[in-house]
Amino acid sequence: MIDILIIILGIVALICIWIILYDSNRFVVVRHALADPRIKKPFRAVVLADLHNKRYGRENELLLSAIEEQEPDAVIIAGDLLTARKGEKFKAALGLLEKLKDKYPLYYANGNHEHRLELYPEVYGSMAEDYEKELTKLGIHRLVNEHVSLEQTGIVVYGVQIDRKYYQRFRKKPMPSDYLTSVLGRADQDKYCVLIAHNPDYFPEYAAWGADLVFSGHIHGGLVRIPGGKGLVSPAVRFFPHYDGGRFQEGSAVMLLSRGLGTHTIPIRMFNPGELLVVELAPAAEELTPTADVGERADEGAGKRTDERKVPEESETSGKGERRNGDTCKIGSV
Ligand SMILES: [Fe+2]
């Protein structure tokens, strides 16, 4: 009887190891669509978060071809492209940026790992300066509590870097109501305000500040997910965090929280593959009602670019091209 139990436990352990190895080395493409009357023309963004120096393919060619396939108008980087670890190289992050920079506008805001390099030179030496120098050579400027207005689209992109104390473990530290205005200025309410904010815990505060759409990361989907359910644990060591990945709504504001693409300290993902977000932003069409289901099937329209880009259903695509449809995306609620 004990022998049988040991064999069963051994098989279960092997299956778990296989799932972890499989999910830690693949990514899916997840699509979202939103519309707003302030958006002047369709705008498609690809969002990368928490790559942590990971490569998909020798030179990240699997990730690059998945991005290329989406034909985005811009690539948004929601922080933690690298890992803050003494002696860690930036080669993977820089190699990816070098290949992206000539093809797409890049909007890059820091995560806590980029921020840590700057805060603790006694630990990381000149890593922050070295990274900044390499980015400057590539002509890449990060949005550190700055914004850029995309005039033709009616969209303004903000990048926020919140204080390190807001990343404390176990308990969320309250953020004063004027904090975001003090670092970012007032949100431009005449434009559609996209906020790149690595830490999703402060989504209610981002919404109160005036963000229409928040791109976030940091949580890595909770590392291990209960199939069909929640993520297990956040980097702040909170179990089953509310913000664990996906779409969240706060009043009229939406947060799209990426499950990220890489790993670091605990290098596992289980039932939780990496995630590349593709987000379609469209002007609110007159014929669309607030709860209308719209669009063509994502698996028919993906990769094709047409002048009238309809809002697709939300779907997931593996890095290698296999697709599965998700829930139908409702629009008009933003
Ligand atoms: Fe992070």
Backbone angles phi, psi at 331, to 5 degrees: -125, 170
Backbone angles phi, psi at 261, to 5 degrees: -120, -15
Q: Please tell me the distance between residue 190's alpha carbon and the centre of ligand 1 in angstroms.
A: 31
pLDDT tens digits in sequence order for the chain, 334 residues long: 888 888 888 888 888 888 888 878 889 999 999 999 999 999 999 999 999 999 999 999 999 999 999 999 999 999 999 999 988 889 999 999 999 999 999 999 999 999 999 999 999 999 999 999 999 999 999 999 999 999 999 999 999 999 999 998 998 999 999 999 999 999 999 999 999 999 999 999 999 999 999 999 999 988 878 888 888 888 888 898 999 999 999 999 999 999 999 988 888 888 889 999 999 999 986 444 433 332 222 222 233 333 333 333 334 333 333 333 332 222 222 2
Q: Please tell me the distance between residue 165's alpha carbon and the centre of ligand 1 in angstroms.
A: 13
Report the predicted TM-score, pTM, of the whole model to 2 decimal places. 0.84
Q: In what order do the strands lie in the sheet with 246-250?
A: 146-150, 155-160, 192-197, 213-216, 253-257, 246-250
Q: Please tell me the distance between residue 257's alpha carbon and the centre of ligand 1 in angstroms.
A: 12
Helices (H), 105-239: 112-119, 121-124, 127-138, 179-184, 203-209
Residues in CB range of 278: below 8 A, 6 or more apart: 29, 30, 31, 32, 44, 45, 46, 47, 70, 72
What is d(CA 93, CA 117) in angstroms, rounded to the nearest whole number?
15
CB 217 within 8 A of CB 241: no
What is the maximum span of the chain, computed from C-alpha positions, in angstroms? 71
Q: Please tell me the distance between residue 52's alpha carbon and the centre of ligand 1 in angstroms.
A: 9
Q: Please tell me the distance between residue 86's alpha carbon and the centre of ligand 1 in angstroms.
A: 16
The radius of gyration computed from the CA coordinates of the chain, to the nearest angstrom, equals: 20
Considering the domain 30-320 in this protein, what is its CATH number?
Answer: 3.60.21.10
Instruction: Copy the structure tokens of residue 124.
Output: 């990381």
Q: Please tell me the distance between residue 93's alpha carbon and the centre of ligand 1 in angstroms.
A: 15
What is d(CA 150, CA 109) in angstroms, rounded to the nearest whole number?
16
Q: Please tell me the distance between residue 78's alpha carbon and the centre of ligand 1 in angstroms.
A: 9
Q: Please tell me the distance between residue 139's alpha carbon and the centre of ligand 1 in angstroms.
A: 24
Instruction: Copy the structure tokens of residue 172.
Output: 């969320």
Q: Please tell me the distance between residue 168's alpha carbon and the centre of ligand 1 in angstroms.
A: 12
- Domain residues of the chain, as ranges? 30-320
What is d(CA 219, CA 283) in angstroms, rounded to the nearest whole number?
30
